[in-house]
């Protein structure tokens, strides 16, 4: 069987690191099994779904290194949902209800005071055709509920009915269908809730594994029944724990904070985001993986803990720094070129500066310092300026290499008697304008003799 997974966001906002976790769990699972990955936009809510958000999500996934094999939109598939709904109605499994939210709430309270589970009592199943016609005449439109098979004699007397599955993430799971209300599949305004379209698509697109957040565990019980009612074997399911902020709040698409787009704008490396999104809340060590392949090798869904995992953006910055500082030139070259950092000096430049960078874009400051002029901040005292001038008299002849700095400073030390910080700092300030930065032994050959000489005033 070919493994086919899907990531199914609603394009109603920017995706955040928690959504990325779901996307990555699916992507890595597919990678591990040479499977297919479908991006499915759950855009049945025409009001709140926006094409711009869908584009943003596709862009965020590409940035993370996820390349869908196929992309579909639920808004283009209504005919299939209508056909499935009709089939369920014909089978007597989808029934019309006319209660208002207030009526439902009143009944719920009554059930609670009678110590009955606060689930829907299926009163609509008792409506006669005349009663339904009367509601319709009043202008009431029905919403439609799916009849769960949690009874033996009569639907008004539900009995414990266990749905079991072997969860790809959580291991053996059991949901009791008697503990839930018949789910509403179609609202009174005719729009679909997510439950039915998702199952129809999963059948139609040959989805073999549904991997999603553990807020969907209960849904899964009802959805397994829906698969069966529509004549299809249910897929395998996996439910991962959710991420929260450090203070324990859930992440929201609307909050914007911790969105993948904002992390990208902050200069965080995509593999830092992917590594943390996947490894947080698992028994795996959270160390940044340099590539998606490496992450796939380390990904073990069953190592995921059950409780929510706290996501700390500071950890992300540290992982990102780590990735940049260890990045080989071959990997950095394309991005450096996009910043305008190219040519024969680019590789030596990268190896010299990467250990001092927090973000890739910071390389640009150092490139300017190397190719144009020192930063203006590093003002020297009169005395140090005179020292630098004198030091320049001892600059070795070219060709220059990694040993030139040592040779130069030895000569300066012998001539002036200065040593340690008093020797290095004025030279560093004169050459770079900054009090800290890459090894001068590495920078010096990049500058070359002529440019070094020009930096003495």
Nearest residue (CB) to ligand GLU, 210 versus 429? 210
Nearest residue (CB) to ligand GLU, 42 versus 182? 42
- Does 198 bind ligand GLU (CB under 6 A)? Our answer is yes
| 3 HSE (CA, 13 A, CB side) | 18
- Does 194 bind ligand GLU (CB under 6 A)? Our answer is yes
Smallest distance from the beta carbon of 146 to ligand GLU, in angstroms? 16
Nearest residue (CB) to ligand GLU, 9 versus 234? 9
Query: Tokens 């630098």 belong to which residue?
Result: 388
Q: How far apart are CA 235 and CA 24, in angstroms?
A: 19
Q: Given candidates 3, 5, 8, 39, which one binds ligand GLU under the rule CB under 6 A?
A: 8
- Does 209 bind ligand GLU (CB under 6 A)? Our answer is no
Smallest distance from the beta carbon of 113 to ligand GLU, in angstroms? 33
**Which stretch, 8-16, 304-312, 317-325, 362-370, contacts ligand GLU (CB under 6 A)?**
8-16
| 253 labeled binding residue | yes
Using CB under 6 A, which residues numbered 211 to 250 contact ligand GLU?
A: 212, 216
Upstream peptide bond of 399 is cis (omega within 30 degrees of 0): yes
What phi and psi values does residue 144 have, to the nearest 5 degrees? Answer: -120, 130
Nearest residue (CB) to ligand GLU, 5 versus 360? 5
- Does 37 bind ligand GLU (CB under 6 A)? Our answer is no
- Does 409 bind ligand GLU (CB under 6 A)? Our answer is no
Nearest residue (CB) to ligand GLU, 235 versus 437? 235
* Adjacent-strand bridge partners of 36: 4
Nearest residue (CB) to ligand GLU, 250 versus 435? 250
Q: What is the dihedral of CA 212, 213, 217, 218, to 10 degrees?
A: -110
- Please count the residues of this chain forming the interface with ligand GLU, following the rule CB under 6 A: 9
Nearest residue (CB) to ligand GLU, 10 versus 409? 10
Six token digits for residue 239:
């439910």
Q: Given candidates 10, 44, 282, 409, which one binds ligand GLU under the rule CB under 6 A?
A: 10
**Which stretch, 3-11, 52-60, 276-284, 385-393, contacts ligand GLU (CB under 6 A)?**
3-11
**Which stretch, 209-217, 383-391, 410-418, 425-433, contacts ligand GLU (CB under 6 A)?**
209-217
Query: By the 8 A CB rule, do 353 and 366 touch?
Result: yes
**Which stretch, 5-13, 28-36, 244-252, 316-324, contacts ligand GLU (CB under 6 A)?**
5-13
Six token digits for residue 242:
């959710």
* Adjacent-strand bridge partners of 40: 72
Smallest distance from the beta carbon of 244 to ligand GLU, in angstroms? 17
- Does 201 bind ligand GLU (CB under 6 A)? Our answer is no
Smallest distance from the beta carbon of 75 to ligand GLU, in angstroms? 13
Smallest distance from the beta carbon of 22 to ligand GLU, in angstroms? 7
- Does 9 bind ligand GLU (CB under 6 A)? Our answer is yes
Nearest residue (CB) to ligand GLU, 98 versus 194? 194
Nearest residue (CB) to ligand GLU, 75 versus 416? 75
Six token digits for residue 206:
């040959």
**Which stretch, 6-14, 101-109, 325-333, 425-433, contacts ligand GLU (CB under 6 A)?**
6-14
SS3 readout for 193-217 = CCHHHHHHHHHHCCCCEEEEEHHHH
Residues placed in the known binding site: 253
Binding site for ligand GLU (CB under 6 A): 8-10, 42, 194, 198, 210, 212, 216
Can you say which residues are annotated as belonging to the binding site for ATP? 253
């Amino acid at each position: 069987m070919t493994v086919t997974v899907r990531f199914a966001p609603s394009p109603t906002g920017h995706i955040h690191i928690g959504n990325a976790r779901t996307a990555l769990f699916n992507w890595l699972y597919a990678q591990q099994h040479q499977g297919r990955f479908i991006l499915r936009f759950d855009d049945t809510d025409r009001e709140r779904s926006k094409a711009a958000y869908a584009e943003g999500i596709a862009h965020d996934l590409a940035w993370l290194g996820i390349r869908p094999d196929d992309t579909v939109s639920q808004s283009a598939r209504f005919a299939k949902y209508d056909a499935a709904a009709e089939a369920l109605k014909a089978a007597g499994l989808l029934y019309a209800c006319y209660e208002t939210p207030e009526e439902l709430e009143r009944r719920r309270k009554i059930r609670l005071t009678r110590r009955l589970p606060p689930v829907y009592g299926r009163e609509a199943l008792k409506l006669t055709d005349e009663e339904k016609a009367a509601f319709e005449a009043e202008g009431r439109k029905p919403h439609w509920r799916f009849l769960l098979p949690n009874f033996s004699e009569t639907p008004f007397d539900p009995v414990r009915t266990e749905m079991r599955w072997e969860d790809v993430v959580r291991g053996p799971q059991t949901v009791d269908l008697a503990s839930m209300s018949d789910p509403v599949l179609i609202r009174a305004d005719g729009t679909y809730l997510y439950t039915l379209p998702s199952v129809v698509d999963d059948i139609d697109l040959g989805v073999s594994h549904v991997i999603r957040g553990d807020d969907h565990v209960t849904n899964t019980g009802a959805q397994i029944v829906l698969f069966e009612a529509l004549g299809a074997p249910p897929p395998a399911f996996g439910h991962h724990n959710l991420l929260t902020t450090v203070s324990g709040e859930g992440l929201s698409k609307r909050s914007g904070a911790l969105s993948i787009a904002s992390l990208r704008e902050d200069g965080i490396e995509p593999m830092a985001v992917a590594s943390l999104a996947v490894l947080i809340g698992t028994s795996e060590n959270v160390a940044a993986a340099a590539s998606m392949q490496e992450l796939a090798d380390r990904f073990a869904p069953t190592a995921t803990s059950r409780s929510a995992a706290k996501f700390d953006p500071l950890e992300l910055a540290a992982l990102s720094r780590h990735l940049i500082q260890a990045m080989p030139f071959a990997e950095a070259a394309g991005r450096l070129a996009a910043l305008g950092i190219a040519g024969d000096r680019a590789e030596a430049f990268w190896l010299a500066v990467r250990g001092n960078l927090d973000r890739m874009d910071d390389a640009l400051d150092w490139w300017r310092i190397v190719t144009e002029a020192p930063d203006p901040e590093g003002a020297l005292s009169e005395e140090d300026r005179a020292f630098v001038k004198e030091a320049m008299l001892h600059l070795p002849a070219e060709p220059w290499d990694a040993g030139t700095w040592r040779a130069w400073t030895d000569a300066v030390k012998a001539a002036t008697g200065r040593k340690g910080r008093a020797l290095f700092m004025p030279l560093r300030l004169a050459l770079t304008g900054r009090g800290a930065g890459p090894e001068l032994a590495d920078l010096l050959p990049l500058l070359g003799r002529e440019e070094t000489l020009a930096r003495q005033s």
